[in-house]
Amino acid sequence: MKRATLLLLGVLALAACGGADESPPGAEPPATTQAPAPATTAEQEPRQLLVYFLRDEKLGVAPRTVAATEGVGAAALRELLAGPGELERDAGFQTAVPAETELLGLSIADGVATVDLSGAFAAGGGSLSMQSRVAQVVYTLTQFPTVERVAFRLDGKPVEAIGGEGILVDPPVARAAFESVTPIILVEEPTFGEDAASPLRITGTANTFEATFVAEVKAPDGSLIAQQIVTATSGSGDRGTFEASIPFAGTAASLVVFAPNADDGGRLHEVEIRLGQP
């Protein structure tokens, strides 16, 4: 036991002195590098992302969970290009992005994401399809705080417009360029299939009359378990953001948002988001 202890102390002393790895006289000292800090638990955890598909020819949000990665923008685009899953398709989600589209590259600098897609991205479809697919890419990338606008390349070459319909993408475009395919009330949280706990936090953007709309939480049998008036930061032609918390009792199966019709009390721009596991 004593011999083992002495050997261990000798090894530690050798390591402290540099041991046999010391450079010979006159040689350049080896470059030293600092060992990377151990990854934190947060860095190891999967990332929650959003992808923007279409519902009723307007943008709709779907969640994605990806492995921990620094390339979250590329990860989100790959999920977008993969298209909606079976349950999402059953719920009405679609995509205007051609299935053959490939991601060739992505770089981000000074608030602009430059995405390089294969030429298949610009193939087929009319003006609405072209507008929608470009909007899907722009919205998916601008969910990240480092991205404000998006520039496009096809097969490595910069382009000024996408498709024969000529959807302009030069200068780089932001979300505001796609108001025509953005729903009047765009809910970005909660997302499709998300488990809901009280209070239910809802966020997104809206462009409603006087910046207000109604949010309802419904039970599995369709009965109303909570209702709240939500006010965005702007409206009446100027899209604003909103954030609200809705307390409820019971099990939440869906969130319904709509703008009330002042003339007949009907529901305008209604959107339903299924909550919980189907």
Instruction: Give the model confidence (pLDDT) of 81-105 as tens digits.
Output: 999 999 999 999 999 999 999 999 9
Q: Count the Cβ atoms, other than its own, within 10 Å of residue 132.
A: 24
Answer yes or no: is pLDDT of 278 > 90. no
In the structure, what pLDDT confidence band is assigned to residue 1 with cuts at 50, 70 and 90?
very low
Instruction: Evaluate if residue 232 carries a pLDDT over 50.
Output: yes
Binning pLDDT at 50, 70 and 90, where does residue 70 land? confident
Confidence grade of residue 22 (pLDDT, cut at 50, 70, 90):
very low
3-state secondary structure of 13: helix
For 246, other C-beta atoms within 10 Å of its C-beta total: 20
Position 277 confidence tier, pLDDT thresholds 50, 70, 90? low
Kindly report, residue by residue over 153-184, the tens digit of the pLDDT.
Answer: 999 999 999 987 789 999 999 999 999 999 99
pLDDT band at 139 (very low <50, low <70, confident <90, very high): very high
Answer yes or no: is pLDDT of 36 > 70.
no
How much is the pLDDT for 43? 53
Lowest mean pLDDT among 37-46, 174-183, 196-205, 226-235: 37-46
Contacts of 136 (CB under 8 A, 6+ apart): 51, 52, 53, 54, 59, 80, 95, 96, 97
Tens of pLDDT, residue by residue over 96-137, are: 999 999 999 999 999 999 999 999 999 988 999 999 999 999
Rounded to whole angstroms, the Cα distance separating 256 from 54 reads: 17
Q: Domains of the chain (ranges plus CATH)? A: 46-181 (no CATH), 185-274 (2.60.40)
Collapsed DSSP state (helix, strand, coil) of residue 129: helix
Name the residue with higher pLDDT: 263 or 165: 263
User: What is the reported pTM?
Assistant: 0.83
The pair of three-digit structure tokens given for residue 103, joined into one six-digit string: 């991601």
Short-list 257, 247, 180, CA closest to 213: 257
Question: What does the pLDDT read at residue 49?
Answer: 96
* Average pLDDT along the chain: 87
- What pLDDT score was predicted for residue 262? 85
